[in-house]
Each structure stands twice: as C-alpha cells, then as structure tokens.
Chains A and B, each alone.
Chain A
Amino acid sequence: MNKKVSLTLEDGSKVEGISFGKFTSVSGEVVFNTGMVGYPEALTDPSYKGQILVLTYPLIGNYGVPKNVFEQGISTVFESDKVQVSGLVIANYSKQYFHFAAEKSLSKWLIEQNIPAMYAVDTRELTKKIREKGAMLGKMECGKKTRFIDPNKKNLVTQVSIGAPKEYGSGRKKVIVVDTGMKNNSIISLIKRGIKVKRVPWDYDFSNERCAGVLLGNGPGDARLLKPLIKNVRAYMKRNKPLFGICLGNQILSLAAGGTIYKMKYGHRSQNQPCIIEGTKRCYITTQNHGYSIKENTIPKDYDVWFRNANDNTVEGIKHKKKPFSTVQFHPEAYPGPVDTEWLFDEFVKKL
C-alpha cells in the first residue's frame, strides 16, 4: 500500500508524494542537485548534513545500492559511513533495480538508515521554486507533524566529523586531513599517491604538528561557525607549509586569510559546473555541492583568483601569490561526478 508523505516549504507551499524510505518526519534545508548519476555517493556526502535533497534527474534507484567494500580501512563505495541527507525527494523510483554490484534496493537502504524519502513529486517544479526563492527550509511529514529547523544555525560539522584521529596508508610523507565532514575519496586520492593520511577531528589543533602538508576537506554548513578551526589554520599558515582546501576548506582558508564568505541564493549542486583557470581559456567540468562562496572583493591581496565559474563568474578557488596555499570550491575528488580535476591532488602532492 502506498503511504503518503508531504513536503512543506517555509513559503507555505506543499507537495505530496509517496513514501519509499523510513516512514518518519524530518525537517531541514531543501536543496536540489542536477547530477544524473551517483545517488549512493551523493546521499553519503556529509556536506548534505541537515539538508533535504531533491534530485532533478527523474529516474532514481535504477541500479540499486552496492555492497560496501573497504580498502585500507576506508569505504571505496560510499563517501562516508552512512546516509547523510535528512530526506530525499525524487520524481520516479525504480522499484526493480538491476546491477551486478547491487546488494539491495535504494528503498531498503534508506529504511535501514532511518531516512525518509518520497517519490511521485514534480521535482522540476520544486527546483524552479528553490531557484527563484533561494534555498528554503522544509519539512517532510508522514502523519506526524514537525517544525522547521534551520540547520545552518547549528555547527553541523560536529555531527559529521571523526571522534578521534585516525591514520590511513603507509607513505613516507604525512598529510593531516581535517575532517569537517569530508568525502572518503579525498582520503583515498591521497593514499593512492603514496601519502600517509592522518585524519583529525575538526577542532583538533594541528598547527604545530609535524607533517608535510594539510588538507582541509569539504563539509556541511556555515564555515563562520568553525572558529577553532579557523584559528588553527591561521597558526599553521605561519609555517609556510603546503595547504590545500576543498569546498568548505576553501571557505575556511579564505576566512583564516582575512576574507569573507556569503550564502548564495541556492548554491551550486551538480556535476556539470564549468570552472575556468583565471586568465586562460582552459575550463574544467567540476562536481560541486556548496551553498556558500568567497566574496571576491574581500580576497586578501596576497591571493589571486585561481578558478572562476564560467556560468555565474563566482570565485571557485584562490591561490597565494608566493606561498603554497591554494583552494578550490569544487570537488577534485569527484564521487559523484567528473574526475577532470583529479590532477589537483598531483599538484598538491608535488608541493609536499
């Protein structure tokens, strides 16, 4: 029997759908992603913490959910150890899936993970609304009522960061990776390059710890709330050692260097964002998932704009004029999405 779920937005609009996840009520910020593949990766991306995700591609669940595989202590299939979104909204759910790597259906997985999900929604119409009015708070209700909660007011990073430091790989050079809710493939991308990774909690003080470099990973929410981390980064920068920031890490580094960030209307969440290397005609297709961006006129003068979004001209990365500090707003680690900028890891490793 089809069970009904409703999604109410803070502007009062409401859509109904059919439940295919856990039959429970949640609230969060409603965001959309236009990627056409990669729902297992997207759903486990900690950057989505606190968010209800709308997928614009209408056919979801086609290839089920794969069996988890671990290599060197880290999952190579999912981007974290659980489903991170608060809820999922799609147009059409493929009840019957088929893939040689599949272990279970998307529905079964979501139920196991206590995540509500709904289908039979006009996701295009919903997306248009978010595009016009900006990302909004929303609540998915299955009978039981709930209230709107703004996840960005909370420090979401504490919910997704690792509890205690953990090491991966066995390389000669060690990189400290600050876990603000990073995707597994950032770590894998370093191990693959012969780097030993020390993954540390978001508020861990690494500023004076011996290492070849630091990677600031992605994560959810408002970077301005992460004061201890910003302070640690500022202290670390005095050592002039390599520092690379991805997504939230990009914002952290900017804040540490003296810049400011702002919340975008509805952010960039897709796998087809074109980013040009400033001053060239070279453009990369990137995968993105962010709601905040660096304010261009506040970028400190020691830094140059490195990457720029070819669609809306927002800053997609900055680079210090002399020191080995650089950041990107997009995801070179991909998963989901194109792997075109994986070479950024090579560049980072070269500097170590």
Chain B
Amino acid sequence: MSIKTVRKTRKRPKNVLILGSGGLKIGQAGEFDYSGSQAIKALQEEGIRTVLINPNIATIQTSEDMADEVYFLPVTPEFVKKIIVKEKIDGILLSFGGQTGLNVGLELYQCGFLTKQSVSVLGTHPHVILDTEDRDRFKKRLSEINVRTPRSKAVTSKRAGLAAAREIGLPVLIRSAYSLGGQGSRICATQKELTEALEVALANSSQVIIDEFLKGWKEIEYEVVRDSYDNCITVCNMENFDPMGIHTGESIVVAPSQTLNNREYHFLREIAIKTIRHLNIVGECNIQYAFNPKNGEYRVIEVNARLSRSSALASKATGYPLAFIAAKLSLGYSLTELQNAITKVTTACFEPALDYIVVKVPRWDLKKFKSSDQRLGSEMKSVGEIMAIGRTFEEALQKALRMLNIGVEGLVLNELTISDPWEHIIHPTERRVFAIARVLEDGANIEEVYRKSLIDKWFLYKCKNIVDAERQLKKQGLKKAAVSRAKRLGYSDVQIARLLGVDHDKVRAYRKKNSIIPFIKQIDTLAAEYPAKTNYLYFTYNGTASDVVKQKKSIITLGSGPYRIGSSVEFDWCAVNAVKTSKEKGYNSIVVNCNPETVSTDYDVSDRLYFEELTLERVLDIIEFESDTKGVIVSFGGQIPNDLAMDLYKHNVPVLGTHPKDIDRAEDRHKFSKLLDTLGIDQPLWSELSTLESAKRFAKDVGYPVLVRPSYVLSGAAMNVAYDDTALTEVLEQAAIVSKEHPVVISKFIKNAREIEIDGVAKNGELKIYAISEHVENAGVHSGDATVVLPPQKTYLETVRRAKNTTREIINALNITGPFNIQFLAKNNDIKVIECNLRASRSFPFVSKATGYNFVEKAVLGMLGEDVGNNYNTLDLDYVVVKAPQFSFSKLKGADPVLYVEMASTGEVACFGNDLFEAFLKSILSTGFELPKKNILVSIGHESNKMNLLGAMTSLAKKGFNLIATEHTADFLKKYEIPCKKVYKISSTKKPNVSEYLTKDKLDLIINIPTKYNKKETTDGFKIRRKAADYNIPIISNRQVAKLLVKSIERKGMKDLAIKSWSEYLDEKR
C-alpha cells in the first residue's frame, strides 16, 4: 500500500443548511435530534453560519441557542430549494436528518439543483450515497473488491419478482429500496406470501429487493469513521442477541460483540474498512453483516452512508461523539487533528476500548394498536429503545429490561402471563426474552432453546445464570452471599423482595448494613488507560470502588426514559432546558436518563450524566451518593419521573417544585375530582368504578357514551369509550388487567365539545406565564393526536377568560410551583376540566417556541426560588402556529389508522403561518401529506357528518376535484347535486368497487369519516383506512380536520406558503 496524503484545498462554506428528519416516526426517531444538534455545534465552533430546516418543534436542534436560523417547514425538495436560494446556502449536510433528509438531498442533487446553485455537499459525495442506496449499484461496487453481499435481485415488477424468488429459492426477504426502518420488508416462505408482499412493497417504492434469507446467521454491525485523508477506524462493533430475521432495530443488541473471537472480529473489521475506503465515504457510516458462526461465511447486508440509529447507540455505548466528529470531517479535517472529547488529551483517531458491556433493548407499544400484528420480523415496529451499562451481561440485561418501563422488574420475577412461551420463542414477539427465562425456569435445556431460537448459546447460558440465581436466593433467603450474587447479576431490590416476600425497603436496609452497595464507574473510551475528565457514569455491583466523588451543590434532573407513544423527544427538550437553567444559576447539573436517542445524554449537556435506570432504587442510590444536592427535578421527564415524586418524598428526598403530595392530588383522578368538586369547578360527571354492575348503573344514569380510564394516565393507556353495555363490559375486563393498584374512573363522554389546553408555569400557587391553545378536532381525540392551534382561532374570548380563571383557582389550591397543563372541554362558553398534570406536558416545547418564551426556564427559575417575571404576551400574536400529529401507521400492519381517545401518533410537527390555513397546510405537508390534485375518495359515516360536510364537498366539486364516493355518501351527494362517481364497498362484490381505486396513482386523498369512535376493525371503513396506510395514500378521518383542509386548499396553494424563518415570525411579534 502506498502512503499518500491528499491535501484538500476545500473552500470553507459560509452558510450551511442542515436537513432535519421531521416528525418522529417508527424507524426514524430521536437519534436524529442528537445527530443534528451535534452537527450544528460542530459547525458553529468553526464560525460557520447554520440554517436548519426541521418542522419537528419538540426537538433540541430547533432551540434558540442552536442553529442561526430555523425553518419550521416540511423537509421536501420544494421547500428546501426555496430556503437554499433565500439563505444563500453554499454548503449542505445530508447525512444528519435520517432517511428523510438524505432522500431530499439526493433528489436535489440528482435534478442538478445543488450544482446549479453552487451548493457543495459536505462529507460523503452524493454519488457515493447513491452507490449505497441503490441495491444493484451497491452489489456491483462491493463485488469489485470481492466483498460478498446476499444473493439478491432488485425488481420493478411483480413478474420479475416472482422469477427472481424462484432463482434464489424460498424463503426470501422482500423489501422496498429507499426506505427507512425496513418498511415493506417481509420474510416470505410461500408463493402466496410472496405475491402479497411484492404488491405492498411495489406500492411503496418503484424498486423492490428480493434477498436470500440467511436463517440463523449472526447479525453484526460496525460503525466506521473515515476522513478525507483515508484514515479509517471502526469506533464500535455490535452484535444482535437475535439472529438474522429480526430487524436490528427490533433486536436486543450488545456492544461490543461477545461471541466473536479475534480472528472473526478483525476479519469483519477489515472488510468494513476495505469497503468504506472503496466506496469513498467521508464521515460516519455503518456496515451490517450476516455472519455464519459455523463456517465464518459472511454477507454485507447494507451500508448506511449517514448517521443512523445505530450510530447514536454507538456514540452512547462508547462515549465517542460520532455525529460531532462526522460533521468536522465533512469540513475537511483529518481525524488526527481532532481530539478525543472524553479524555481531552488523546486523539479522535482511535478505536474506543470498552471495559463494560452495553445492552440495548427496543421498546414497543404494539398493545396500543390492538389489531396490529404482534410478531417481530424484518420490519421495524419498535417506537424507542433504552441502553443499559454493566460489567456482566446479566447485570446489563436486567437493568435494561427495567428501563423499558413496561412493568417488568428484570428478566425474572415479573407479573407477566405468557401462556405459551415456546410460541414466543419460535415466532418472536416482544416477550421473547421473558419466554426464554420462563422455559428455563421450567427446566428446559439450553440445547432445546438454542435449536428453537438459534440465539447463540452464550447468551442463553447467561440467561440461565439469572434463573439459577433466583433458585439459590430462594433457598438461602436474605443471606449475604446470595444477595450479593443476585445484585451482581442485576437483580433489583424489588425482585429480591418479591421472591422472599419482604418489603423492598427491608432489602435495601439489609444490603446497606452488609455493605452490598453499587459503585460508580466512568465511561472513558480507553478502559482507564488514560486519566479522563469524563462525566459519563454508570453504576455496577461488579466492582469495589467508585471512580468519582460527589458533586458540590448539584441539581438532579430526571429524564424521560424510553421514547414511546405519548412520551418522546419533547421531554428531552424539557430536560435539556432544565439542565441549562440550573447550570446558568450556578448549580452543578446532573442528568439521569437511559435513552441513547436523546440529547440529554450527550457528554456536553450536563456536568454529570448517570446513564441509569429511572427506578426508585437507582435514584435513591444516586441521591445518597450525591448528598450535596439541592434536590431532584421530576417535572420535565414525562410520567416516569413524575410517578417517582411521592416515593422520593417518602424517602426524604428533596423534590423541587410543587410538593409531591400536591402532585399526587392532581395525579390521582379520584382525589383530583374531589378537589374540583370542592372548588366548584365543573367537570364531566364521573364515578369511581369498583364493580361492573355499578358501572352499568352509572352509565345508564348519565347516558352513553362514557369514557373509561385508569388513574395515572399517560397517552391514554387503556382509555376507552363505551357506547353501550356490551362495550362497557368488554372495556372493563381489559382495564382490570391493566390497573390493579389504582381504581378505574368512568365519566360521561361529551360529544361535539371543543377541547382547549392551558400550559403554564406557576410559583407558590400564583400564575406566572401561560399559553392557551385549541384543538381542531372535537373532544374524543387524544390530545397527543390532535391538531393544535395557538393562539386559539375559534374559542370565544369569554371561554378563554373562564379557562384562565379556573386555572388560577386550581394552581392556588394545589400551590403549584413549576410547570402544569390543564385540559378543558368547552361547549357554548361552558368549560369543564378533564385533566390536569403538574409536570411539563408534551406541548411545552410547542408553546415555548410558538410564543418565544422558554416555559421550562421559567419553571426551573420558579423552583429555584428565583424571579420568574409575569408580563408575557402569549395571546395577541400576529401569526398562527399549528401542531399536527405524525403517525406511523404504514409501519404497523393491521392497525386501524383512526383518531381515538387512545394515543397513536409517534411524533409531531408544528409550523407557523400568517393565518390558520397557511400554518395548517404547512403542518400537514410536514407530516408527509400531499395536497390533492384530482381524485378524492369520500366515505362519510353517519347522517350528521354528511350534513356537516356538505359545504366542504360542494367546494371540492367546485374546485374541480373528482369525487369518488362510497354507496351512501354517493347517494347523499347526488341528492344535493354534487357530481361524484359511485363505488361499492369492499365487502360487496359489486362493481365499480372501492378496492379498484385504492392505489396511489388512482387516488390523491381519502376522506373517510367513521360512524363512531369505536374500536371495531372489521368494517369497510377500516379496510379503506388500512389500505390507505399500506399504499401511502393521504387520508383524513376526522370531520373537523376535513373541513379545515377543504377551507385551506380553497384559499391557499403551494405558492402561498411563505418561506419565513422562526426568528422572522418572532421578530414581528416583538
């Protein structure tokens, strides 16, 4: 090999555009907030002006102190082009905004726009990215250096697909090219499955890939970094617990690899480096392998020439800031010129040595989508993930499972019913790992589990160790050796308490008396070889000393844990801002969180990071160690920390802000409703439910429908609407399983009411700042799924006044200090309180960015006893901001894409406009919606809905749209002389049938309004909605949204959507 250094005389760009990834969706979540934020920091350090486009208002990257200009606009070629021209962009980063950012960037490159505008793509060249994205080009490039890829064929038609599958031989893996999270990918073992999968995949993408299916091969991944001087390193390798067949995003993953020997590890590493050099990637990328453990054969599955979920995980797993370094390399730096950010004395050109093990476990929310397929496969369904650090696999695994916050205490001793564990092992579900523990407990041997799961026996032996420790502990009882062993294998005090039938506080006391305590270790990238100034920490029972001493005068902020439906990046924004404010006020900031997708867990956000469990036990460990703390902030991480408030208080931990007893008074629906009664504040009629009979009686008294929900609700878990006795019975049977400890409350479900929300901050029971917003949808749609408007456009001033007064009374009664959120129903100027949270709500970043006031900062100031001020204008704005939900239904096979009391959206976006219509259109375009051009399918259930939408239908027809209507809707439209084409329901076999129209080239939009908000998925409406999701056809399923959409497209076209930055809107206000 010759050693040449290529001198780069790259011109430094002045204005760099960063493409964000938009609303969080399955397969593309918080990791891109992390990578984008790092990129912005890296460029700003160089004095380069940064412009960011990202409609995801809940992100940290769209904060005031990040990019120089922020555009809350759709990440689509049309909008990006206009920004490039307006902002005189001369450099662009494509690889920090996930597949969304990458695809848009490639499109602009391919159409010649970037060249025409003299915009240079920083980092990996677009033609290189295309080499990795286009399957055929990819295989060709790799074959040039004799690197093996799976036998596969890219096809563009069903016929070619069938032929290719015959050639490769079943089973095969089918997936769409250019897709994120393996969308449309499926393992097909039969001809029938193959035909179906091809149809769906071809609807999503013009090119479909058919791969040989490598059953039982290991799945291994390397994160590779390369600079323009040809220095190339692998920062981290990772191994999947589950073998091939389960998407890596759906698999338990460990770092570093555990079962590869030196030869295998370095064999794959060398191929990685060879491949990345050959492809000529500059920056960061990952390479995924299938590896046959029996004979050392391998296949390169894919190379992602961009930051990814894996790179975020690798960054957190090693402490190596991949995104930051990648951004620097894209400016032409060499790796040797950059410093190891952790040690601050060594170079960034090195490969981290870990002296711990990391376990990642995905977090699913499949139960939220009742009819969706529960099996895991080659397609991603998880909505988030957590990462645990330990010094044994067992310790890290059990920590990880607790971190998921799904009600389990670890691998064993859970209250989980798994009726047929082998079924979960053979056909993997989210319970697979628990099923393995169950069969091992029942005496199954490792060989049998291995045969049925093909999971490497090393992992299974380790699971068995955990199971065996349980047996030993049971036999010996609370004895030092057994407890100590259990703790080293990751058992929690609660697990031990459960097993021995004692209280967990007693276990804790016993442990401390016997010096069985955890120690704190640093993540320093060099396994203690160099002294590191790192603040990145974890706890382990496999040690005898701690690396650090307690911090002086600290404030501990608890993060949000895993992203899931109802709790995601918005709480990370809150946590990061809470940390920032506490730092500014002179405190040492400490963060506790366990989610590798977050910015709050970045090495440079806090003074000290505990990458740890958000459980009572661990938080107490931290507080006992950090005994100089002023207190703990529980209000900015969503429900997980909020739920700890009372327990922390009982353990004499200072909780900052509203008193935990008052938090409990608001959280406990029973107590809260009583409080409202005392204050004379109206609320929907409610009753505490104990028996089915009394529930039925109550429902009869107030009249159906009724809303049923448990206490301590987040994201409407197990919330339901019952329209009759039968439905009520069914709902209650479900609820009883969900919630044993807290009583279930039922209330009258008020139809046709508006919903408004007040987010705000109080200090000592006094209102300091608030923002009021209204929902477009009537009550009955979960607030997290609603389209939210700020300032309100339709709510009467009198209603606003009343809501504000009621808010004041509640704040006073609960003596709130800190953030709060109250939700109201409004009907004819009457308001009823439906919910109150004494923590930052999901909408905190939205209201903060929409009004230009940082609500978190104000709240933390209040908690610290500082001046908060109270003269804030949040109502009289010259613009409107609309927040729209981002759904991931296309990822969740079988789920009904309909709005409901239970939350289903995975993310959100928000856009500014000069009026409601402009802001609304920008918002829905940001979620992937496309404005209709010609053909609209309308299917409207219920007479009242039809009447209500008559005006809207008339204007669509006038605007020249072709309306295609299902039977009753068509009859109705014809009665009012609105031209339309009548089609028959799917369930009827008559022609013309709806089913013939359900493809993207035949329909631009579907307006499907269900008859009522129930969960039956067998209707024709469901079939239409489901097809819409499968074929990516825009769909509106809510009456109010349909009306707003029609009004908006009546008034505005694409050209009317102004390209204005966030600061331009806020400046107008000031």
Contacts and interface: CB of A to CB of B under 8 A. Distances in A.
Interface of A: 15, 32, 34-38, 40-41, 56-59, 62-63, 66, 91-92, 94-101, 122-125, 127-128, 131, 270-274, 276-277, 280-283, 285, 310-312, 334-340, 343, 346
B458 A97 contact: yes
B261 A37 contact: yes
The 6 A-B residue pairs with the shortest CB-CB distance in the complex, in nearest-first order: A38-B262, A96-B461, A34-B527, A281-B334, A34-B353, A98-B457
A57 B356 CA distance: 7
Nearest to B351: A272
A332 to B, nearest CB: 12
Interface in B228-252: 229-231, 233
A268 to B, nearest CB: 8
Query: Would you call the interface of chain A mostly helix, strand, loop, or mixed?
Result: loop
B440 to A, nearest CB: 13
B795 interface: no
Interface in B710-744: none
Contact of B458 (A34, A36, A94, A340): A94
Contacts of B547: 124, 128
A172 B1 CA distance: 23
B347 A274 contact: yes
Given A283-B231, A338-B266, A63 B261 contact: yes
B951 interface: no
7 contacts: A34-B527, A37-B256, A38-B261, A38-B265, A63-B259, A96-B458, A274-B336
A236 B230 CA distance: 37
B294 A100 contact: yes
Contact of B258 (A41, A59, A124, A283): A59
Contact of A310 (B262, B265, B347, B529): B347
Interface residues of B, number: 60
Interface stretch (B537-545, B551-559, B828-836, B851-859): B537-545
Nearest to A269: B529
Interface string B338-366: 00000001110111111111000000000
Given A57-B354, A100-B294, A310-B349, A336 B545 contact: no
**Secondary structure type dominating chain B contacts:** loop
A311 B350 contact: yes
Interface of B: 1, 3, 5, 227, 229-231, 233, 256-262, 265-266, 269-270, 273, 293-295, 334-337, 345-347, 349-357, 391-393, 456-458, 461-462, 519, 521, 526-531, 542-545, 547
A289 to B, nearest CB: 13
Contacts of B258: 59, 62
B801 to A, nearest CB: 62
A58 B542 contact: yes
A273 B258 CA distance: 22
A15 B519 CA distance: 16
Contacts of A41: 262
Contacts of A346: 1
Contacts of B293: 99-100
Contacts of B227: 281
Contacts of A283: 231, 334-336, 347, 349
A35 B528 contact: no
Contacts of A270: 353, 526-527, 529
B529 A92 contact: no
Contacts of A98: 259, 456-458, 461
Given A127-B527, A271-B351, A274-B347, 9 more contacts: A59-B392, A95-B461, A98-B259, A98-B461, A100-B295, A124-B355, A124-B528, A282-B230, A343-B1
Nearest to B545: A125
Contacts of A40: 261-262
A41 B3 CA distance: 29
B231 A56 contact: no
Contacts of A271: 351, 353
Contacts of A124: 355, 521, 527-528, 543, 547
Nearest to B262: A38
B273 A340 contact: yes
A220 to B, nearest CB: 20
A58 B545 contact: no
B528 A62 contact: no
A49 to B, nearest CB: 20
Nearest to A97: B458
Contacts of B349: 274, 276, 283, 285, 310
A91 B391 CA distance: 8
A334 B542 CA distance: 31
